[in-house]
Amino acid sequence: MTGMQSRYEETYRRSLADPEGFWAEAAEAIDWDRRWDKVLDDSNPPFYRWYPGGRLNTCHNALDRHVAKGRGEQAAIIYDSPVTGQVRSFSFREMRDATALIAGGLKALGVGKGDRVILYMPMVPEAVMAMLACARIGAIHSVVFGGFASRELATRIDDCKPKVILSASCGIEGHRIVPYKPLLDGGIELSSFKPEACVILQRPQLEAEMIPGRDHDWQEWIAKAEPADCVSLEATDPLYILYTSGTTGIPKGVVRDNGGHAVGLYWSMHGVYGMKPGETFFAGSDIGWVVGHSYIVYAPLLYGCTAILYEGKPVGTPDAGAYWRLISQHGVSACFTAPTAFRAIKREDPDGKLIGNYDLSKFRTLFLAGERGDPPTVQWAEEHLKIPVIDHWWQTETGWTIAGNCVGLGMLPVKYGSPTKAAPGYDLRVLGTDGHEVPPGTIGALAVKLPLPPGSFPTLWQQEERYVSSYMAEFPGYYQTADAGYIDEDGYVFVMARTDDIINTAGHRLSTGGMEEVLAGHPDVAECAVIGAADELKGQVPVGFIVLKAGVARSNETISREVIQLVRDKIGPVASFRTAIVVERLPKTRSGKILRGTMRQIADGLEYRMPATIDDPAILDEIADHLKAAGFCRKVG
């Protein structure tokens, strides 16, 4: 569709001019046990609540109602696990029945409305069923990424105080078996709060040692369970807690409610993603992250789509054609993954040869989010897939899209480097340090005028003061995204960096994201990162790290010289870009985010805390060696 046919502008205007009317209409798509007293309670800002007085059940909306309306035999979840060689499909009816048994098992362990349950599980169907089982009985789930270190698990146990922990004997990362039980036992040992029971799913790849009296075998537990019905909950009751790392080292428990969450995610499936009920949606993520919560589990099922639960990697299980095999085999209409995944695919298969081996005729749209969709990666995907590639921007806190090209409203023209425009419900502004809006094209803090739309977080778990101080205090009346960028004259949003990735070089405010865009444009570069390192003369100077594509035979020195010249040509000498270090790989979290903040601390000779979510801690030592060789890692000033 061209911009002329798009209903975006009219929809967006209406969402801001009459938010209550807009979100009341959207809420009609959800089954309510009781209608709300009012759409928005704005009596206690910044604690806004959607649909107070309304009652519903999220599990009913995701499973039972589809069975009741004749969709019972449609696949709800397709579990595709190249690491175990399994593909299994579960219909909405099978999901409902299995979920009701897990819910009954939880009730038998004394779990009820408002109790917390931690899920420390791999990407297996039981994990999705367990999330929905908690929703079914009003328990609040908190999924902790499987394989997280014991210390990190302990901080989450102490914060949310779970009555029960559901886990498994192991996870499988590529070709490596990760034993979960020793990590779980270590986490419980380190925490001052102790759960009453643990239920362990024994996987054939590794059997876990059980602790008598505390640990229950999953299969035996389910064999004794009676199915449980859905419990009617307040729209404002919490559905889940999802921890996001805090700068202080104490994680922040992002809370999602039942009512606003169901409405916002349901709307996004057609408004943002252009999906139809019955179609298949694939989010290449993990249930431990927000993308997994929103777009592997809740949104597709609420909307009546088939969701893919993929236990594998974009490359190496078995090759860089893994996603194409999956999309072809299951008739996927839309895929949502991180740019990191595509950079990995591009690095292994730079000419996209593996794409030709698969029938991708049902594949309509590719969505990228999780970090900035750099134009070279977006253009590579467009060129080889011949479908629209949509960069969109959102956060754990918002739960769904802040800005994106809303496919369901009719696509707008693409501007590379931009996730297009603010999504309906998000009154996005660019603010200067004084809190006033800056002119179009000027970099500032990206902030959303309150209230946030349904589906975003109403608070942090038992940390209301921190909710205000972390997100609402800097610009009163706004949610501070902690991302920096600008909005151009046409209303297109450009997210350039985290606010602390805007560097000040000799008085010039420069975006590391803009420099990364230039580096990524070099034909030999697979992926890159730019950080600002402390400098006695200029305050900060940019340092680039580049990973080369597979098979590049030219010398590192030559390529470094070329990318330095590229930045000079495209951004100018003002950038003071003089260091480009070729590395084997970049330090990342398990969800694929590059650890730029940690790299900056190393470059500045500061002490840093090993991030809990790091994929491979040894990489940081390699980065430190490179930085020392380049003359960094000394404290300045």
What is the SS3 assignment for 543? strand
How much is the pLDDT for 428?
98
Match 């800002």 to its residue by tokens: 45
How much is the pLDDT for 182?
95
In the chain, CATH 3.30.300.30 sits at 506-629
CA distance 335 to 588: 22
Match 């009012």 to its residue by tokens: 38
Give me 612's structure tokens.
């809990």
Instruction: Report DSSP letters for 100-161, one per residue.
Output: HHHHHHHHHTT--TT-EEEEE--SSHHHHHHHHHHHHHT-EEEE--TT--HHHHHHHHHHH-
Measured in degrees and rounded to the nearest 5, phi and psi for residue 288 equal -75, -15
What is the enclosing helix (H) or strand (E) of 619? helix 618-629
DSSP, res 208: P
What is the enclosing helix (H) or strand (E) of 627? helix 618-629
- With a cut of 70, list the residues of the chain below it in pLDDT: 1-4, 245-249, 497, 499-501, 506-509, 636-637
The strand pairing partners of 582, in sequence order, are 546
Residues 6+ apart with CB under 8 A from 61: 30, 31, 262, 302
Q: Please, are residues 350 and 547 in contact by the beta-carbon 8 Å criterion?
A: no
Which of 2.30.33.40, 3.40.30.10, 3.40.50.12780, 3.60.15.10 would CATH assign to domain 3-312+392-485?
A: 3.40.50.12780
The strand pairing partners of 217, in sequence order, are 200
How distant, in Å, are the alpha carbons of 233, 538, 580, 581, 621 from that of 630? 58, 17, 9, 8, 14
What is the SS3 assignment for 171? strand
HSE toward the beta carbon, residue 546, CA cutoff 13 A: 31
How much is the pLDDT for 183?
93
In the chain, CATH 3.40.50.12780 sits at 3-312+392-485
Residue 86: count of CB within 10 angstroms of its CB: 12
DSSP, res 412: P
506-629: CATH architecture:
2-Layer Sandwich (3.30)
CA distance 357 to 482: 42
Match 């230039």 to its residue by tokens: 518
Give me 127's structure tokens.
């994990």
